[in-house]
A and B are shown apart, each in its own frame.
Chain A
């Protein structure tokens, strides 16, 4: 059975990528299994300079979901290039470098800097809901998505994947804007903005007051948005949002995604990614599918 897919020119061993922010740089999970066996690893969101992130609390549980506001804590792009990237490449991992910034100049710099390294795909994060400047501010209006994608495109020698926010009125329009700006692929959804309140103390649970909701709670919304985005563009779509099993992943492929990312599931199950790979293989076997690519966009609407 073939599980490999081609994502904008990059061969993935299978369509399952670990999602940014839930997987660090892969080292913690490599204690449990060979992270090089995954389709890819989208690393912790990187910025030009090291970032401290938000004060605690940064996480809380909601029904079938998780609300977080880490605020892009990361050691900075140079530390990643020096310490973590060589290790990931040695593992044979397809490295998706998730990059964020506060200004257009930051994003262009990140694209240029990371293009000079061995990363495979640049995932431009214009959808982080947990930082004051930049992040999602670039990702909510189609005009600004087009503008920043076009600007970064000129500085990016790697396949450029734009990670979209679900906190928009019309996801199809935003997806088209990324494509028109020159994106090679889009990934979605980033978290849905949410909030939790401790009634006893009358305070927000998260120090940042609001955070991003992920996990199975958002899966139907994510699936719908991936369906609409895949209908709207001709570039590959990488789907995510609450995927925990092979069946979940198959649903995202059926609505038109070329690959999927698994995020929140890593937080409670260190084996979540390889289990999704095996589960997807099982779905293919049950359906007599010889090549996982047969599932992509095979949704029946008749």
Chain B
């Protein structure tokens, strides 16, 4: 009975979404304030309904209601409580419900905050979000109902995929979804602005915190996913250019361009069309990501067993959303001519160059991801595009981006004096070359151009951050007061940029200096990687809560001194009978030691195939992600977004305040 209530409430939510989409939308077009006022209560009500429905599904998971088909397929009576809760999004149907929940939650938050926007803008945004919600609710209800029953109920469930029984994996999908869905808000603002034909500095200031918020979640989601892949998959890789990874990376690239372009639009009233286009693209790419993951058209490690009708549904939805929004853009964009002008050497120009480069990078990733599909559709030939394609295209495009990250913030808006700029850059440049070269001599391993270049870029950005700070503080004599007076958003920018170069250092140094060996090892055998000697002791059986593990013991020596003992595991899960590798990893800021078990090779001698890795600086990749997230959070909580707008400014048809 309870699952039926959940299903019924979800249908009610769809009805409310229809009201939320249509009535405020009509109100916007007919200028009826009373219709517009429906937006907020409808959005909140929809969120409550979806939340109840979602809680019911969670409850059914917790109490092991295996008569629900979805639960029977993804849970089991042995599954620990935490994974029964996270198991709700462990497969297709539930993760869609999570998607809808997050969308309605974001919408409710926007609706509550909409008191800060003119009533027509709030209504427009809520209405657009309502239409998106209708699409996903229909998708859930008609093609992937998580409450579907089947009788007779099985005695026990088929269990959650053991790969997903992991803390990072439990929070990775919600973070990623919050990012994906979060870009619906800048999108909704963009559509509303296009309908109304006004994109101004106030508009940019409204959108900025939402765009940054979505970007923070997406960054966190991608970082977690990459870290998870590194320690859980047992291959020691952290990014595979897998179609599904690309699907989350593409909106990240345009989202990054968007938050920077919004800065120009807010501060300088320039590049309005470009900003609106990026907002549309970011959300469209999020939808494309959903399509790629859910339709199973691509060979991917993430692909679920899928049903073709789902793919077609999302493809139609994608077509409608992108089609309508780009059409609207084409009709309206020419009316919004740029007013703020700038010159070739200016902060606008460096921000613009970077967003163009990010867009191009996104297009190359898109091409590499879709090329196999396109080629197969045209010629019937089946191909795959390998990671070397992405590395060889993507990295050259990112080098100028990182280079410009350093100097952009140092430039003035509108027009920068070139010779003065060069003067400002001289000192940081010299220090960067010096530091990078010196550090390269200290690092273990041979001097290498890639490593040097990565360090050079990193120091270039870091030095310029210092130069920037100096420039900021040049008019104060009181240091602590000066530091406090700098807005939080500025610290956010610096933190995120430093995060970016930390990732650059991690990628550069780990790719150059990593050593890896797949070896056949019998007890007593040893291998040396870098300064470390790994001695294989044995593998013993040990039971876990819902699995049986082979636990290996490997001693690690450095300079003939025993440093640590690592225990990689090979687990056989009781229910699904599948095997999982749990790598043993010892990390610190300088290096990771990574050991994973392959398979038993000779039962008599107790020998195994073993994977040994020595990976310097790899932790920096994810630390960089963490810094970017912190930077984004600092920017979102900047007090200027919290300033209340006086009431009289919010009346219908008011002229928006232009920020100075």
Chains A and B belong together in one complex: no
